[in-house]
């Protein structure tokens, strides 16, 4: 099996990606901790492309990267690209978000996920960007997931991401939709390489 480096230091993200890549002839591995890629892109796609190509270049292996975040209408799209830097912990980030929204009636928001796959020659072979629309609750609900999941409510499911089963979340989330779009192309690419 060929290695596919996940351009993250987060084991949770690797496990989630492994689910989406089941059945493909790739073994996922985390990027080395000491390999730090500065996210200087001005869009989620730019950051995903940057992380995938830089990791591929540094290691000479295929790499997959995602960049995702929460964009809230009433906050002019914040926290956006800075979603993970909005506080030191998930609790801090959620607290800050709820404070900044206050009693605002417009609580519409969307999660955005961009994914890029770079080959061992650092060329971006595939990329996509997808969204999941929802609303921000006034207080957290549910114990699953991570990040902003306890306050991100999806009206069509009548649940927050943190209340959903992993199967439901992977079907309707921004990351799940992005992988669903990307996988047919990645399977073709994989078949051509291993055929």
Catalytic choice (66, 67, 106, 158)? 67
Q: At what angle do helices 11-20 and 174-194 cross, to 10 degrees?
A: 60
Q: In the prediction, which pLDDT does 124 show?
A: 85
**Would you say 119 and 125 are in contact if contact means Cβ atoms under 8 Å apart?**
yes
Domain count, the chain: 1
Read off the CATH number of the domain in which 122 is found.
3.90.950.10
Q: How far apart are CA 190 and CA 174, in angstroms?
A: 23
Write down the pLDDT at residue 26.
Answer: 86
Task: For 70-115, write each residue's pLDDT tens digit.
Answer: 999 999 999 999 998 899 999 999 999 999 999 999 999 999 999 9
The Cα 70–Cα 141 span in angstroms is: 17
Q: Which residue has the tokens 């939709």?
A: 177
Please tell me the distance from the alpha carbon of residue 177 to that of residue 27, in angstroms, as a whole number. Answer: 22
HSE-up (13 A, CA, CB side) for residue 68:
26
Residue 110 burial (CB count, 10 A): 18
Low-confidence ranges of the chain (pLDDT < 70): 193-195
pTM of the model: 0.89
DSSP-assigned states of every residue in 127-190: EEEEEEEEEE-SS---SSSSTTGGGEEETTTTEEGGGS-HHHHHHHSHHHHHHHHHHHHHHHHH
What is the domain extent for residue 116? 2-194
Task: Quote the DSSP letter at residue 119.
Answer: -
Q: Is 67 a catalytic residue?
A: yes
d(CA 66, CA 100): 27
């Amino acid at each position: 099996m060929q290695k596919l480096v996940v351009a993250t230091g987060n084991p949770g993200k690797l496990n989630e990606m492994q689910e989406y890549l089941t059945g493909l002839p790739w073994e996922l591995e985390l990027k080395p901790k000491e390999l730090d890629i500065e996210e200087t892109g001005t869009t989620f796609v730019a950051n995903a492309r940057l992380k995938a190509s830089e990791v591929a270049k540094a290691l000479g292996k295929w790499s997959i990267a995602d960049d995702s975040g929460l964009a809230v209408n009433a906050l002019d799209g914040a926290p956006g690209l800075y979603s993970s830097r909005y506080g030191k912990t998930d609790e801090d980030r959620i607290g800050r978000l709820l404070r900044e929204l206050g009693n605002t009636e417009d609580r519409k928001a969307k999660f955005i996920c961009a994914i890029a796959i770079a080959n061992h020659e650092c060329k971006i072979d595939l990329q996509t960007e997808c969204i999941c629309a929802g609303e921000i609750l006034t207080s957290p609900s549910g114990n699953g997931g991570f990040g902003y999941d306890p306050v991100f409510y999806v009206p069509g499911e009548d649940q927050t991401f943190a209340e959903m089963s992993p199967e439901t979340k992977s079907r309707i989330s921004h990351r799940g939709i992005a992988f669903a779009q990307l996988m047919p192309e990645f399977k073709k690419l994989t078949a051509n390489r291993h055929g």
